[in-house]
Structure 1
């Protein structure tokens, strides 16, 4: 437990995004440009017993983020946590466009961290007086330093979301993110309010860092008129996994422009297929309708209530470890970091006292 005399060390890793953007007269548009020092200068002076260690990793618009950036970020978190073992937590400032992908990837690649890894950003650049960036950054620092939390999360607009259960749902509003069933895992007011069901701080855990990924995973949104040959083209392009975002509970066309043949062909060519839902809330249950069961009968896996973003990242992470069909199915059915609400439970991990 932290006493009033202790200093909470947290590390702020900046990666760019709107929060660090400035207006460039030359291109007449926003681009990342604020340094980590400039971001911190916009916070209230004097943060009590919090020491912020600074790391500037990227100046990247998150629309340009690639899977290798996720791996580099996870490596940076590993490096700083090994250099400074008494860290209370990590804050990552990131663009909102692909924050949920990066945060989900870090969740899978760094497990049993035992401390908060907090992603945050802004809808309005911190260089603008009414930006939400300073508040979000300060909230994230509070959670990293004092929150009884032991998992990767997104802190935004006073809410704390599990990284693998979050979607960006608003383009411009301050409340850009929502948790997709269940509710957020906490909120910030006078105090940090955290709900049951979260992972709590546990300094006895030994973090497991595993950044292996297969980035040849495709996310395909089903729409009326989608040509079935699209699946074969995706496989021909060298993809090893496809997340199909189906209608409703994971339904796909099975009559005109039927996708079942393309799914079967993809699976026969060693390409794994997962079906998620286009709906923000609820789950993909392929057993309800004939048009869902058809996908299951030819070998597609259900994403259950995973978001499509989390399903894509998880499949990439799983395929980085195995391509053995039974093992892939087994791993996709395990909830490793709370990405699904009902699944095969993760086997217990041994704890080692530090």
Structure 2
């Protein structure tokens, strides 16, 4: 990420399970939003999402373009520098199969009344972890999208792309651009959970019409159907173990009446299960995470934002175990500021802990030296 809020320049290495932590204001929320913006680009929603945040001007890095070594050492005060590069917000990712990057800029003054909409200047997709000319699969400059065909020749797949449209959503040729379609579907499978409500009026506390639900909705309204789906066609053993781990001696029961499903938890000494309206916020939230993490249809990437909210500290180790089980089937990013959850997840040396901190207003990765940063190249304008 470059120039998004406090993320002036940040290149993160991601493994199978990644725990992003740091003090309040260190940039965790900005990192989470940046991942969502990347996912939004596959649905043509990144420009609108930025506009809702106040436009590109409101989300750009607000510090100087360059922070010199003398400033970082405290030898000189922080001050503005002369801008040498065009205004640019850049987001990207890469993996073993595909990579993708986008570069957004400001519209020219007076071009349109939609002044908060940034323009997509450049997009590129490639094979493998690093952008190289030989690895390019598709590239977009302005209104033109070029796609590399099987024989290596370039084909103009689109010549009138609007500056607010992404090539991921507008180019859909399965014959001549199959890799672009694969990339789009991979990004569209990314799943985010952040504002799962557990208050007294939360949708998860209200009986809902039950249908087979392999993927719980973002608001958790269909949690009962999602849990029942796991029990029928998913890993019901892991579900039972997670409930027992979180609430020893308890058993999950889904109450069904007139086709409507409701979460219930049978506790020792109770003659009937406690239903969703009676459950504490922490108990209901833990069951929501069970439904999200044990999904029978795991995504390419699952991102959880502060899953520890409302949970008693004694539940955090059970949550860590649940996250570790889910990481066996999908890549996970957990954004948290709960030390106990971080400690529980960090017990496995294969789980990466990414601690963010602020340096002169800029979000940086703790203990990452310049030469240890993963290799990364941006597409040129």
Q: Which has the larger radius of gyration?
A: 2
Q: When the two structures are superposed, what TM-score results if normalisation uses the length of structure 2?
A: 0.26
Higher relative contact order (CA 8 A, sep 6+): 2
Q: When the two structures are superposed, what TM-score results if normalisation uses the length of structure 1?
A: 0.27
